Amino acid sequence: MSSADSSTDVPPLLEMRSVNAHYGAVHALRDVNLSIRAGELVCLLGGNASGKSTTLKTLLGMLKPSSGEVVLDGEVVNDKPTSYRVARGVTMVPENRRLFKRLSVRENLDLGAYLRSDSDGIAEDLERIFELFPRVKERLNQKAGTLSGGEQQMVAMGRALMARPRLLLMDEPSMGLAPALVQQNFELIEQIHASGLTVFMVEQNANMALSIADRGWVLQTGRVVLDDSAENLLTHPELRASYLGQSDT
Amino acid sequence: MTDSNSPEVAASEPGPDLTPGGTPDTPGTPGVADLAEAGETDETLLSPPRPVFAQNWKRILSMGAVGVGAQIFLALSNMPLRLDDRLLIKPILSLGYVSLLFVPFIAGNRVGHQIQREGIPMHAAGLHEIFGGVICGVIAGGGVSLLSVLLVNFDLREPLVNWSPMLAELLAFGNSTAFAVFIWLLLGGLAGAAGGAMRLVNPKARRVVVTMVLTVGFISVLESLVMDLAEGLRFEWLTERVYARRGGLNWNWALILAAFSGLVAMLTRGRVRQAREHIASLEGASRARTNFGLIILTGAILVILPLFLGKFTNELLANVGLFVLLALGLNVVVGLAGILDLGYVAFFAVGSYSAAVLTAATSPRINPEMPWLVALIFVVVITGLVGLFIGAPVIRMRGDYLAIVTLGFGEIIRLLFLSDWLADTFGGSQGITMIPGAGIFGLGSVSGTEPRNVFYLVLAFCALAIYISWRLERSRLGRAWMAVREDETVAEAMGINTVNVKLMAFVVGAILGSFSGAIFSAKVGSVFPNSFLILVSIVILVVVIFGGMGSIPGVIAGSAVLIGVLGGPRQPGLLSEFSEYKLLIYGALLIWMMLARPEGLIPSVRRSRELHQQEIAQDSWLREQLDEEAESTAGNDQPARATA
């Protein structure tokens, strides 16, 4: 499937070029092509076991592709470790938040900035996060595991932002949250995107994700089956039928 | 008194269920509360005592049955007979009888235990608790009665080696079997009643009683230590009176000591806690200064005290120190990085053997006869490399697999030292003997014949190891370790090179263990493969878990209690009588610890201070309630602050 909207001159921030990936013998990703351009908010949709999380892992370097290329800023990074990519501005907010539960909120945030050494910049970013989430400041010395779900989501976002990323990879931001919090969370993602961050999110909640995204892909059993703008995807009959649970009559 | 007036009592209590003073004592957070004070419930709601016969019979029966099992097990483990010689208070009480009698006491006490639930009043303790304790104690004591009858009428010596007439005689106090049956029912009932009665006395009085019992207990049990101290500090004139000639306290002195300690406990009531809270509330510079002062004070005591101690106690302190070193090393691996290493003894072994080979003239093949300090540099390098070598394949695994593989490597290292293949380097089962002591800058040689010097050497290395651990814990690497411990995948996603970080933990742990090994070989003067059995790994791990994983003071306290008091795998402790039952007691302590205080003796203090206060009030709902209450009691008319 070719890209629907014509690409601009700006080189993509992160790209997957016909990537195949395996878990042992299982073929998890088949010839996946993705490109994330700076400033975009894009989403990857798919049901269970469609390869969404595998795509994220491959992008972040926690899984090596068996063929194809992962390209960051025009450089093939297949053989570079995760730390290399994190240092160059790619950060993930993991599925279900996954904070370091027995560490304090402060320690969680500090760990987000693990690869940075500019203490002034770190302090600055910490202040920015406190502005964004005043609640986090209140909870700074508390164990992360004792926070409520919504607060944990804030800390998880804060932790990712502490790396001062250019590209934020979000793994199922709506998972395990109450509906009201999901709404809040997506507003937050929009807000972060508006502040200049590129966001790539992986979601099952297609309706929600497409309502804020610019573009999207649909993944099915490891293959990209749809690649279109968000508006087109939202009205796409197949997608509506299979993911949004609506028939197009 | 019936339970019909309970609403009245509940209504007469002023506040709602969230009395500010009551909340910090909720049972979920025993962490900061002192052990002795954990049971303080004086500010909770009380409903009237339950009627005497409204017992929870099921609970009594099950506790009683546990008591029966425990007493028969203890009796047949031969503990009463072995410890009968050890008098605590002459001529009344021997450790042997105590080892049996404490069971109905505990059972009788536990039967009256109520779970303290927030907002729900507890029953005031009364005759109900004593009666329950008596029944439970009688059942438990009945176990011993039953055993006495069985002992006389059957001969089960074949499977049960301790099934002896001596035991029967001991249980009968030298009288007839009928007497034994009767006396144990009586003693069990009395002990159970005492246990139940402990629930009646108010917490402050209980604290005094506990202090008295513990003081007398410790002074009589730790007789050898006290005698040793007396010799050094020249107060033998006192100890000669206090202790009877063949061990144990004289009964009149036991009373005097009890009265004295009770008096002290009453006078210092609350002071200790106040002081501790005061220290905990200090901030910034003044806190740092206080900590520094405390460290200097502890250091000074540790330097000066051994001058007054005899060989026995210094030897003991040196052994404790060796295990502190080992436990600090394992603490880095297990406590900080979360890698469950069951073969840690490997690094102790490599440290000992490499020091032996490098310093001993009698080392079979390689014998450079280096001075100890020079050899130490090589020992550290060699052990670090071995850590790297073992760690590299191991750390790619996780969880149970990793634990099993480390267990294997621990044994492999020992078997290599034992093997014929390497026998011409390491001496096989003959080991390496005649290892010279450690010469320190012309300060003379430190060897096993001078336990005090060994202790000073160990102390220096402990200080070094504590400093290293302390700095590492607060470093970037330490944070990375904790992240890996909490969630390895996410740690990797944060950009932490998990493989390198875990390898570093292995190497640091190995190096700290090698210090201990190098001192051990110089102290003992010989190394054999048998000194490095898997049991050593287990004991070190138990020390770390018992003391509190990830906590430096915890690890030190754990070593002091387990190694110092009970004794190490081969090292005698203060309670040398217990050496046979060491592992039994280790196990019991570990189980008790996991139930009562899973975070260890002294939990990692880094976060616990604010945490325990905040966790209770973390719920915004609860917090609002507390705020409202605080405002209403302060007489403020301001509207309740919204805590969104």
Q: Show which of B478, B513, B532 is a domain's final residue.
A: B532
Q: Is B43 among the domain residues?
A: no
Query: Based on the domain organization, do B325 and B194 belong to the same domain?
Result: no
Helix axes B498-524, B345-359, angle to 10 degrees: 50
> Residue B588 to residues A172, A242, B84, B561, B582: CA-CA distances in angstroms?
46, 58, 21, 14, 10
B370: pLDDT strictly greater than 60: yes
State the smallest CA–CA distance between residue A212 and chain B in angstroms.
Answer: 25
Print the domain residue range for B159: 49-200
CB contact under 8 A, A141 and B615: no
Whether residue B27 lies inside any domain: the answer is no
Are residues B179 and B320 located together in one domain of the fold? no
- Residue B285 lies inside a defined structural domain of this protein: no
pTM of the full structure = 0.82
Question: In chain B, which residues touch A (CB < 8 A)?
Answer: 476, 479-480, 482-483, 486-487, 489-497, 607, 610-611, 614-615, 618
Phi, psi at A35, each rounded to 5°: -145, 130
Residue type, B548: G
Q: Do B494 and A147 touch (CB under 8 A)?
A: no
Decide if pLDDT at B639 tops 70: no
Q: Residue B17 falls within a domain, yes or no?
A: no
Q: Which of B200, B233, B260 is the last residue of a domain?
A: B200
Q: Are residues B507 and B376 in the same domain?
A: yes
Contacts of A102 in chain B (CB under 8 A): 482, 486
Q: Which residues of B379-404 are buried (b: 16+ CB within 10 A; e: fewer)?
A: bbebbbebbeebbeebbeeeeeebbe
How many structural domains are present in chain B?
2
Q: Is residue B548 part of a domain?
A: no
Q: How is residue B293 annotated by DSSP?
A: H
Task: Classify residue B271 by burial, with Cβ atoms within 10 Å: 0-12, 13-18, 19+.
Answer: exposed
CB pairs under 8 A between A and B: 76
Q: 3-class DSSP state for residue A143?
A: strand
Q: Which of B510, B532, B554 is the last residue of a domain?
A: B532
What is the rounded distance in angstroms from the CA atom of residue B396 to the CA atom of residue B22?
A: 48
A159 touches chain B (CB under 8 A): yes
Determine whether the interchain pair B615/A87 forms a contact, defined as Cβ–Cβ distance below 8 Å: no
Any alpha helices (H) in B77-126, and if so which ranges? 79-82, 95-111
| B401 part of a folded domain | yes
Q: What per-residue confidence (pLDDT) applies to B605?
A: 55
Q: Inform me whether the C-beta atom of residue A87 falls under 8 Å from chain B C-beta atoms.
A: yes
In a domain, B587, yes or no: no
- Mean pLDDT over residues B268-275, rounded? 76
**B636, B639, B640, B644: CA torsion to nearest 10:** -150
pLDDT in tens, chain A (249 residues): 444 444 456 678 999 999 999 988 899 999 999 999 999 999 999 888 888 889 999 999 999 999 999 999 989 999 999 999 999 999 999 988 899 988 889 999 999 999 998 889 999 999 999 998 888 988 888 888 888 888 888 899 999 999 999 999 999 888 878 888 888 888 889 988 998 899 999 988 888 888 899 999 999 889 998 898 888 888 888 777 766 555 444
Q: Does A211 touch chain B (CB under 8 A)?
A: no
State yes or no: pLDDT of B215 exceeds 70.
yes
Best residue in A93, A98, A108, A114 to probe B by mutation, most B CBs within 10 Å? Answer: A114
d(CA B518, CA B516): 6
Tell whether B353 and B482 lie within a shared domain: yes
Q: Is the pLDDT of residue B29 over 50?
A: no
pLDDT, position B15: 37
Q: Are residues B366 and B494 in the same domain?
A: yes
- Determine, yes or no, domain membership for B12: no
